[in-house]
Amino acid sequence: MLSKELEQALVTQLNREYHSAYIYIGMSVYCSKEGYNGCSNWFLIQYQEEISHGMKLFRYLEEQDANIELPSIEGVEVEFDSLIDVFEKSLAHEQYMTKSLNELSDMALKSKDHATYNLLQWYVTEQVEEEATVKEIIDNIKLIGDNGYGLYSMDKELSTRTFVDATS
């Protein structure tokens, strides 16, 4: 059974996963408005993945008979300075999520809740991959600079990303 403290923290994390999804819709809106349809697709896949992170957590909370509260989801930005600005803000957000998940893992260990700790390790591992992917995109954008063909190729590559469901 979940401790009250951990239950509350996991419900907060659930809200953060859905908020992440919403953030990525905002980023997708900006990219499509600027004509980066591949990047827009990439962020829409991010959105879907964050929803599935939320669903994975939601299922666990249900299994644990948690008291699930669903507070409102904070509004997000749809305006950014540039393409690199969007990805840099995306990285900063993922780093924030990593910190949040590390703190949750600490909390699970402290209360000797190994089932929850085990679930959280899936998220911690996922964060390593997410941060690495965004860092790589940022490096590529820096390398490309304002080379039109480079940007076109990168955008085309990001248009091929497909959704991987965290719950299956």
Identify the residue among 2, 9, 31, 53 touching Fe ion (CB under 5 A). 53
**What residues have CB less than 8 Å from 163, skipping those under 6 apart?**
45, 48, 49, 52
Cα 21 from Cα 48, distance rounded (Å): 7
- Of 14 and 107, nearer to Fe ion (C-beta) is 14
Neighbours of 8 (CB within 10 A): 14
Least distance in Å: CB of 134 to Fe ion? 9
| C-alpha dist (Å) from residue 61 to 28, 106, 148 | 30, 18, 47
Q: Which range in 35-43, 45-53, 104-112, 159-167 contacts Fe ion by CB under 5 A?
A: 45-53
- Of 53 and 88, nearer to Fe ion (C-beta) is 53
Number of residues that bind Fe ion (CB under 5 A): 4
Cα 11 from Cα 80, distance rounded (Å): 30
- Of 11 and 151, nearer to Fe ion (C-beta) is 11
Cα 20 from Cα 93, distance rounded (Å): 8
Residues 80-139, interacting with Fe ion (CB under 5 A): 130
Cα 139 from Cα 146, distance rounded (Å): 13
**Residue that the structure tokens 């591949």 belong to:** 38
Q: Which range in 11-19, 79-87, 142-150, 153-161 contacts Fe ion by CB under 5 A?
A: 11-19
Query: Taking CB under 5 A as the rule, does residue 16 contact Fe ion?
Result: no
- Of 64 and 133, nearer to Fe ion (C-beta) is 133
Binding site for Fe ion (CB under 5 A): 17, 50, 53, 130
